[in-house]
Amino acid sequence: MAHVHPTAVVHPDARLHESVEVGPYSVIGPKVTLGAGSRVGPHVVIEGRTTLGERNRIFQFVSIGADPQDLKYAGEDTELVLGDDNQVREFVTLHKGTAGGGGATRIGSGNLFMANSHVAHDCVVGNGCRIGNGSALAGHVTMEDHVIISGLAAVHQFTRLGKHAFISGGAMVTMDIPPYATAQGDRAELVGLNTVGLERSGYSKEQIERIKEAHRILFRSKLQLQEALARLRTELGGNPEVDHLIDFVLQSKRGLTR
């Protein structure tokens, strides 16, 4: 049996691993699944068709799996899925998906959601991301792995954030942020590379130099985008870190932050 505080309300149809802990006055709905080692603090509400993996820690006053803040939502049985080892701090809100957005909000593993941050419907969050205090993702945002969003930033709906991107505090992101870049301002503009993050993630000096050259060609050479991409393929293609950047640019629909 899971360790459930006597004041918590856990629906009998909820599926809790025997090692799960649920704190005082928390509410767990009938379609919720909590994986091994997960800890739910006091005054937490987890509802909807929501699945949490293993060793997630949910702090007090969090709302997970609530209906999306989308006026088109009409009660469809959509879902929210979290991986393993996530930390969800105080007053965070994570909303389930919509039928029109694929039916699910999906969050990977090893992420930190700081106090008062928000992940809206149909977002896709990778692994190892950090979302700062008071920051918000609008609907349908995609965050690749190891993205850092500083406090009080906001990301427009359907925007994509490339892996290892760094969003400065207070930034208003309205277009795609390419991988490895640092962005700041209202509206956000590129101001450099997240070299510190790349070093901490184990990128070699040679890889970082290639990324620097790729960004220089894309954003500082004054070439047209297709010309810059062709030059990248010729000069730096075949290196995974550069190929990923090229693929990200080619898939952009909202346009790139420059």
Angstrom distance (rounded) from CA 173 to CA 183: 8
Reported pTM: 0.97
Average pLDDT of the segment spanning 51-61: 98
Query: What backbone torsions phi and psi does residue 193 show, to the nearest 5 degrees?
Result: -115, 150
pLDDT band of 1, cuts 50, 70, 90: confident
* Catalytic site includes residue 121: yes
On the question of pLDDT at 207 being above 90, the answer is yes
Angstrom distance (rounded) from CA 19 to CA 38: 7
Angstrom distance (rounded) from CA 214 to CA 106: 30
**Structure token pair of residue 110:** 């090893």
258 contacts 225 by C-beta, under 8 angstroms: no
76 contacts 104 by C-beta, under 8 angstroms: no
pLDDT band of 54, cuts 50, 70, 90: very high
Angstrom distance (rounded) from CA 236 to CA 239: 6
Helix (H) or strand (E) holding 137: strand 136-137
Which of the residues 122, 128, 140, 176 is marked catalytic?
A: 122
Count other Cβ atoms within 10 Å, centred on residue 18.
Answer: 8
54 contacts 36 by C-beta, under 8 angstroms: yes
On the question of pLDDT at 26 being above 90, the answer is yes
Average pLDDT taken over every residue of the chain: 97
**How do beta strands 189-193 and 181-184 pair?**
antiparallel
**Structure token pair of residue 221:** 């050479």
Percent of the chain residues past pLDDT 70, beyond the cut: 100
Residue 258: partners with Cβ closer than 8 Å, 6 or more residues away: 189, 190, 219
**How do beta strands 160-161 and 142-143 pair?**
parallel
125-168 pLDDT tens trace: 999 999 999 999 999 999 999 999 999 999 999 999 999 999 99
The reported pLDDT for the residue numbered 22 is 98
97-128 pLDDT tens trace: 999 999 999 999 999 999 999 999 999 999 99
Which of the residues 83, 139, 162, 197 is marked catalytic?
A: 139
**Structure token pair of residue 154:** 């906001």
* Catalytic site includes residue 122: yes
Helix (H) or strand (E) holding 173: strand 172-173
Which of the residues 35, 97, 118, 121 is marked catalytic?
A: 121
Average pLDDT of the segment spanning 193-218: 97
Average pLDDT of the segment spanning 48-54: 98
Average pLDDT of the segment spanning 22-33: 98
Angstrom distance (rounded) from CA 177 to CA 196: 17
